[in-house]
Structure 1
Amino acid sequence: MSSAAQHLPSESPARGAKNGRTGKAVLAGAVAVGLLAAGGGTFSKWSDSEAVASDDKVATGELSLALDQGATWTDGNDKPIDINTYKVVPGDTVKLKVSPIIQAEGENLKATLALELPANLQSVIGKYVDYTLQIDGLSDTNNDKVYEVTEANDGKPVDVVAAFTWKADSVTGDQGQNVPAQPVKGFNLVLDQSV
């Protein structure tokens, strides 16, 4: 028996290199698939898409007011007056009349129409002056001088009549006499969409 060291046969250099390259290729492939699956590429299940309503269009409606003529004033008997020269006395009524055309386009459009008063007139409403508002063709369901507008009113004129009556029992003696003319600018028709 020989006392020389025994060596196990080793793989040939060509075979060992081949196995190493194969292992690295498998590892690189696994990493690439992992990256694709993580969202970095286009690897996915089958899918499809179709254009829907590609030729359809959408447009907006309109909510606006147009005044063809200015406001007019009448007395309590509907006789035309010049508000700049008319002198009121306790018990008198003067009426402001205007007829705007409402543009209200929109399938589910709901809005309100109201009359905004000048600040100096607002300050005497209730104490010295009674105020009523009537807008023909619209309804005031809450009785708060705010009228409802819908698409049914589109393109139609409405008659707005605001009546102001100086309460006869609001003054005594010579109170309120010879008061200088007060400006009545600041009336505004306000059309607001209801959300």
Structure 2
Amino acid sequence: MNAASQTPLSESPVPGGKNRRAGRAVLAGAVAVGLLAAGGGTFSKWSEEQAIASGDIVTAGELSMENTTVSWENGAGKTIDPATYRIVPGDTIELHASTTVVAKGDTLKGTLELQLPAQLQQEVEALERAGYVSYDVTLTSGDKSAKDSYPITHEDDGDVVQAVATFTWDADRTTGSDGENVSTSLSGTKLVLAQQ
């Protein structure tokens, strides 16, 4: 056995050891920056937020009708029942429709019209052209009046508008038995309120 003292093996320095430690530190820093960025962008320039309009509410308006009523009158202003009243040449009858307009909207513009069903409208127009019947519609509210189409704005909110459709049978154009025992349905006649 060799009695000579043995020197412990010394760790040989690994070439570039300091460079490896520095490289690991840079890599760890890059990973940390990446995680911060992925976690909501907290690694960013200065910024600030201020709440605005938090107590403001935007509300839509309304365009509708309430308390609509319908009645019939003869040309002398007397109320009649269309189910039992029998018209003759020379008669005038009037359909009265009254409604309260709900018009809420600062820039709201619309129209109110009394419309006959399409088939009846065509028949009335044909009789008008032939001179047997005259027909017109007037819509009024207070001092405001219009033919056929009544203009609506927010200023009309709560106003009562009355539409009167007037039918007059011309006796001078009716001969023989023309028009006797003829019934006409007004089903489908309506008030139409529409935004323009």
TM-score by length of 1: 0.76
Work out the percentage of aligned pairs sharing the same amino acid.
49
Question: Aligned to 1:147, which of 139, 146, 150?
Answer: 150
Q: CA deviation at 1:31?
A: 5.5
Partner SS, residue 123 of structure 2: coil
Deviations 1:119-160 (A, max 9, x none): 4422312221432111113565xx6x2221111111111121
Counterpart CA distance in 2 for 1:117 and 1:39 is 67
Alpha-carbon distance in 2 for matches of 1:123, 1:29: 85
Q: Which runs of 5+ in 1 are unaligned?
A: 1-10
Q: Give the aligned partner of residue 3 of structure 1.
A: none
The answer (yes or no) to whether the contact 1:62–1:103 under 8 Å persists in 2 is yes
Aligned to 1:117: 116
Residues 101-180 of structure 1 mapped to structure 2, 5 A cutoff: 101-128=100-127, 129-137=133-141, 138=144, 140=146, 145-168=148-171, 171-179=174-182
What is the CA–CA distance in structure 2 between the aligned matches of 1:91 and 1:119, rounded to whole Å? Answer: 25
Q: CA deviation at 1:59?
A: 2.6
Q: Which residue of 2 aligns with 1:96?
A: 95
Q: Distance in 1 between matches of 2:94 and 2:151?
A: 22
Match of 1:192 in 2: 194
Report the secondary structure of 1:89's partner residue.
Answer: coil
Distance 1:22 1:40 in 2: 28
Displacement after TM superposition at 1:27 (Å): 3.8
C-alpha displacement at 1:82, in angstroms?
Answer: 1.9
| AA of the residue aligned to 2:29 | G
- The unaligned stretches of length 5 or more in structure 2 are 1-11, 128-132
SS at match of 1:135: strand
Name the residue aligned to 1:51. 51
Contact 1:35 1:41 in 2 (8 A): no
The size of the alignment, in residue pairs, is 178
Contact 1:90 1:166 (8 Å CA) reproduced: yes
| Structure 1 outlier segments of 4+, above 6 Å | none
Question: Is the alpha carbon distance of 1:139 and 1:42 closer, same or farther for their aligned partners in structure 2, counting shifts above 3 Å?
Answer: farther
Contact 2:139–2:149 (CA under 8 A) maintained in structure 1: no
User: Aligned runs of 1:3-42 on 2, under 5 Å?
Assistant: 12-13=13-14, 16-30=16-30, 32-33=32-33, 41-42=41-42
Contact 1:139 1:148 in 2 (8 A): no
Q: CA 1:166–1:124 in 2, change beyond 3 Å: closer, same or farther? A: farther
